[in-house]
Amino acid sequence: MEVTDILLDLVSIPSVSPMSNAPVIEYARRHLAGWKVKLYPYRDAAGVEKINLVATTKPGVAELAFVCHTDTVPHDRAWTEAVRPVIRGGKLYGRGSCDVKGFLACVLAAVAKVEAEKPLAIVLTADEEVGCVGAKFLARKKVLRAKHMVIGEPTGLRPVSAGKGYALAEIIVRGKEAHSAFPARGRSAIYDAARVVTMLERVAKKLEARKNRAFDPPFTTLNVGLIHGGTAKNIVAGECRITVEWRPVPGQRGDWTAELIREALDGLRVDATLDVKRVDPAFEPSATRNLATMMESISGRRATTVSFGTEAAHLSGLTSEVIVFGPGDMTVAHKSGEFVPVKALNECVEYLVELIQLADSG
Ligand SMILES: [Zn+2]
């Protein structure tokens, strides 16, 4: 089957994170005749069944493992091509075409083209878009051991050898409600929150000073994405909530930023608490560069780094070396009109075939 036909099929199977990914797993399974398939199902917080799949050609340590998530982000209802994919002007449009069913289609097309002698593995995960839930589950269970691992994400067919981490927190600022005609009887949580936001801007500057030149931007970024406070125009605000995220560069503890914020909060003399909701580790560069070098020479593109989170940070414990790689551009993913160039799909299949052959001879 052509890679585009596989991808048209895959995009036609809706698999937005809250839905069960079972139909995608079932579809992939039909392409893996002769592989030993193990399923690792679990129920998500809403009770929906999610399935992780680990397929291998031979027992023992896999020479090369391909990892791909099966869920997608939601799509606008008005975007009718989201699950009715089309090819137009050399691009295949549809939800997940780029992130990341395109890579899955390439893997399925590539393994059908080669008779691999050495042990290969394919790992399909659930719930990547909602916090790498499936990958964390598989990492905890240590479901496989692989020498080299390629995790699919749209990287424009450039091997990626390191990535930033991700952390999310909420700062709750408490004041005292009062009638707005008598502000002195209360304390405005919004005024205090403004001080906190100004402080966060200073923390962001501090983070900027610690450079890691492998990244663009070359430091841990911080963003105040949401602020919500007060109940009415004539009430002194009693509470204000600030949502803040940061993306730590490798080599820096993910909770270092939290420590900086806490210290700074202590100095502000406002009633505020920091509630860290999530700290995902950075994707640290592997000790070896064999796989990255192989992919550099196959693709003719230099290895790079990314500022978005991937499953690599969670799965690196299962392998000696991991890279992130795939067709398409992350900047067109996660929005209406998502697409992947057909040329990139065909190139990716060629590269993966070559990589499998190299793993076989190596
Ligand atoms: Zn993705």
∠ Cα 219 223 224 (to 5°)? 155
Helix (H) or strand (E) holding 305: strand 304-306
Answer whether residue 4 shows pLDDT above 90.
yes
pLDDT single digits (tens) 254-301:
889 999 999 999 999 999 999 999 998 899 999 999 999 999 999 999
- Whole-angstrom distance, CA of residue 92 vs CA of residue 341: 6
Residue 362, pLDDT > 70, answer: no
Q: Summarize pLDDT for 78-113 with one digit per residue, the tens.
A: 999 999 999 999 999 999 999 999 999 999 999 999
How many angstroms is it from 288 CA to the middle of ligand 1?
A: 25
167 has a pLDDT exceeding 70 = yes
pTM as predicted: 0.87
Residues paired with residue 146 on neighbouring β-strands, in sequence order = 62, 319
Q: What is the predicted pLDDT for the residue at 308?
A: 82
Give the type of residue at 298. Answer: I
CA of 129 to the centre of ligand 1 (A): 7
Tokens of 245: 């995220």
The vertex-163 CA angle with 340 and 301, nearest 5°, equals 55
Determine the Cα–Cα distance for residues 165 and 248; give it in Å rounded to an integer: 5
- The alpha helices in 62-132, defined as continuous H runs, are 101-113
- Closest to 71 measured CA to CA, from 311, 272, 260: 311
Q: Could you report the per-residue pLDDT of 303-321, keeping only the tens digit for each? A: 999 988 899 999 999 999 9
153: CA distance to ligand 1 center in Å?
A: 5
pLDDT tens sequence across 189-219: 999 999 999 999 999 999 999 999 999 999 9
CA distance 287 to 237: 52
Q: Give the Å distance between the CA of 242 and the centre of ligand 1.
A: 27
Cα separations in angstroms, 2 against 6, 90, 109, 122, 223: 7, 15, 7, 19, 42
Return the half-sphere exposure (C-beta side, CA atoms, 13 A cut-off) of residue 321. 15
pLDDT reported for residue 254 = 81
DSSP 232: -
Q: Which of 9, 63, 71, 127 is catalytic?
A: 71
Of 92, 36, 27, residue with least CA distance to 62: 36
CA of residue 163 to ligand 1 center, whole Å = 13
Cis bond leading into 123, ω under 30°? no
pLDDT tens across 9-35, in order? 999 999 999 999 999 999 999 999 999
pLDDT at 24: 98
Q: How far apart are CA 104 and CA 98, in angstroms?
A: 10
Burial of 46 (0-12, 13-18, 19+ CB in 10 A): exposed
Question: How far away, in angstroms, is 71 Cα from ligand 1 center?
Answer: 8
The Cα–Cα gap between 155 and 344 comes to 11
Tell me whether residue 128 is one of the annotated catalytic residues.
yes
What length does the chain have? 362
DSSP of 245-292: EEEPPTTS-TTHHHHHHHHHHHHHTSEEEEEEEEEEPPBPPPS--HHH
Per-residue pLDDT at 118 exceeds 90 = no
Name the catalytic one among 9, 127, 128, 153. Answer: 128
AA identity, residue 102: G
> How much distance in Å is there from the Cα of 152 to the middle of ligand 1?
7
